[in-house]
Amino acid sequence: MKPSLLNYYLKLRRTRSHPARSLRGMTLVEGLVAILIASAVTVLITPPMFLSVATRIQNQRAEQATQLATGQVDQVRVLMEQGITPETIEQLPALAGSGDLRAVPAPSSKFGQLQSTNFSCSDYDEAGAPQVPVEQALEVDVNGDCLVDFYLQSFRVNEQVSDQDLESGEGGVPIVFGMGVRVYYRNAEIGGEGLEVEPASLQLTSGQGQQTRYPLAVIYTSLAQGDLDSSLQKYRCYLGECTP
């Protein structure tokens, strides 16, 4: 083989054995730049992720609280449709006077019994579902793990009672009243200062939001038994239009 061809062959092999510098990988500086870029992207993405997750969890809790409050109202509505008797008055929410529903203060203490979907730990139901005082909140477990998920406050105001039958002695039971239900999350400071009665604002949040002070669900409504002779008159009295 001629020397010129030999030199060309050796040079070609050296080129293949030692690729160009640009093909050897990233330099240290390039690696540091890549790390900085990845860190910057992580910093920018993480807060919105936390914001999204926390807000979604808050909305899910509010939905559960609304279902719980609605169920409480429906339960009392069924009692009213069946007709209240002296024996079933205690199944109604506690009476909180004759004022406005929104003026009833927030609960100042816990009732001390748990109502659970798991009957084995539902000591409230085992006790016969007693009437909960206005100033107290009932602990409620909605998923059956025997732990408190929500606190429920329910009450009635401005009730109008049926006229008592002088012959039978029957009557004098509520046929119209206003009912209020407030549902607080389990981290609410029941009995603490600053507990509010207005519903929590379900805005974007990265933490607990207003759940420690405000109820997640609030329902105010009117319930009446409309099949009695005095129902219309009593409802007018409830509206403040009572006639002699």
pLDDT at position 218: 97
Segment 1-14 shows an average pLDDT of 58
Task: Fill in the amino acid letter for 66.
Answer: T
More confident residue, 75 or 207: 75
User: What are the CA-CA distances from residue 211 to residues 185, 188, 197, 200, 235 (Å)?
Assistant: 6, 6, 12, 7, 36
pLDDT at position 52: 63
3-state SS assignment for residue 219: strand
More confident residue, 180 or 12: 180
Radius of gyration of the chain (CA): 34
Domain residue spans of the chain:
41-238
Of 83, 104, 242, 72, the closest CA to residue 174 belongs to: 83
Task: Fill in the amino acid letter for 113.
Answer: Q
For residue 244, the Cα-to-chain-centroid distance in whole angstroms is 44
Place of tokens 């909180």: 96
pLDDT at position 206: 52
- The dihedral built from the CA positions of residue 77, 152, 209 and 47, taken in this order, carries a sign that is negative
Sequence-ordered list of residues with C-beta below 8 angstroms from that of 243, at least 6 positions apart, any chain: 233, 236
Q: State pTM to two decimals.
A: 0.75
82-110 per-position pLDDT tens digit: 988 888 999 999 999 888 999 999 999 99
Q: Is the pLDDT assigned to residue 179 strictly greater than 90? A: yes
pLDDT at position 166: 42
- Which H or E run includes 152? strand 150-161
Phi, psi values for residue 242, rounded to 5°: -70, 135
132-174 per-position pLDDT tens digit: 999 999 999 999 999 999 999 999 999 999 876 544 545 578 9
* Strand partners for 185: 150
109-140 per-position pLDDT tens digit: 999 999 999 999 999 999 999 999 999 999 99
Q: In the structure encoding, which two tokens stand for residue 157, read together? A: 């105001």
pLDDT at position 223: 95
Segment 171-192 shows an average pLDDT of 90
22-75 per-position pLDDT tens digit: 545 567 777 777 777 777 766 665 566 556 666 677 788 889 999 999 999 999
Of 45, 65, 233, the closest CA to residue 150 belongs to: 65
Q: In the structure encoding, which two tokens stand for residue 73, read together? A: 């109202």
pLDDT at position 242: 78
Judge residue 27's burial from the number of C-beta atoms within 10 Å of its C-beta, 0-12 exposed, 13-18 middle, 19 or more buried: exposed
pLDDT at position 70: 97
Sequence-ordered list of residues with C-beta below 8 angstroms from that of 186, at least 6 positions apart, any chain: 147, 148, 149, 150, 151
Segment 172-199 shows an average pLDDT of 91
* Strand partners for 82: none
pLDDT at position 34: 74
Judge residue 35's burial from the number of C-beta atoms within 10 Å of its C-beta, 0-12 exposed, 13-18 middle, 19 or more buried: exposed
Q: How far apart are CA 170 and CA 163, in angstroms?
A: 8
